[in-house]
């Protein structure tokens, strides 16, 4: 099935960005493992071990089910420039069609945020750019 999403005829009124608010943003748990954080679950003991070999860091006997990964870091789910994508599903960085490199996250738009548009079922849209080919951008969205 293919879903088509289009703005109503005439689109929505233009808005101007009048300012930015700086804040810290971190990757969602789904990106922790590729970034070097490993979670080792001991379901019999209901304990969790978190390891980051690059930092020679090991934390043991954390309680399972207490949102440890979410407490380590989360991504903001609002409209934003830069930071980390707030993936609704699994991380899905696109590859540049020219050089094959993973593209970099640039911008995020949420359903009915500053842009009055619904990306699927309360979805979030992401804009990416190739670091080697700045004229190459990709747009994708995920929803629940």
Say whether residue 95 binds Zn ion (CB under 5 A).
no
What residues from 22 to 41 belong to the interface with Zn ion (CB under 5 A)?
A: none
Q: Minimal distance in Å, beta carbon 115 to Zn ion?
A: 27
Number of helices (H), then strands (E), belonging to the chain: the values are 2, 7
Q: Minimal distance in Å, beta carbon 106 to Zn ion?
A: 14
Q: Which of 37, 48, 96, 125 binds Zn ion (CB under 5 A)?
A: 96
Q: Minimal distance in Å, beta carbon 132 to Zn ion?
A: 4
Q: Quick one: which H or E segment has residue 33?
A: helix 32-35
Say whether residue 47 binds Zn ion (CB under 5 A).
no
Q: Which of 38, 42, 132, 139 binds Zn ion (CB under 5 A)?
A: 132
Neighbours of 109 (CB within 10 A): 20
Q: Which of 36, 109, 39, 42 is nearest to 77 (CA)?
A: 109
47 bridge partner residues: 42, 63
The residue among 88 and 96 lying less far from Zn ion, judged by its C-beta, is: 96
Say whether residue 99 binds Zn ion (CB under 5 A).
yes
Q: Which of 5, 46, 66, 98 binds Zn ion (CB under 5 A)?
A: 98
With CB under 5 A as the rule, give the number of residues binding Zn ion. Answer: 6
Contact 76, 82 (CB under 8 A): no
- What are the residues whose beta carbons fall under 8 Å from the beta carbon of 61, sequence distance 6 or more? 47, 48, 49
């Amino acid at each position: 099935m293919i879903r088509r999403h289009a703005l109503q005829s005439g689109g929505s009124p233009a808005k101007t960005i009048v300012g930015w608010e700086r804040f810290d943003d971190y990757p969602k748990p789904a990106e922790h493992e590729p970034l070097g954080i490993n979670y080792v679950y001991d379901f019999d003991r209901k304990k969790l071990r978190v390891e980051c070999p690059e930092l020679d860091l090991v934390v043991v006997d954390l309680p399972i089910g207490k949102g440890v990964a979410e407490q380590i870091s989360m991504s903001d789910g609002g409209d934003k420039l830069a930071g980390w994508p707030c993936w609704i599903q699994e991380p899905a960085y696109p590859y540049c069609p020219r050089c094959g490199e993973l593209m970099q996250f640039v911008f995020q738009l949420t359903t009915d945020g500053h842009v009055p548009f619904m990306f699927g079922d309360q979805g979030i849209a992401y804009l990416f750019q190739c670091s080697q080919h700045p004229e190459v951008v990709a747009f994708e969205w995920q929803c629940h």
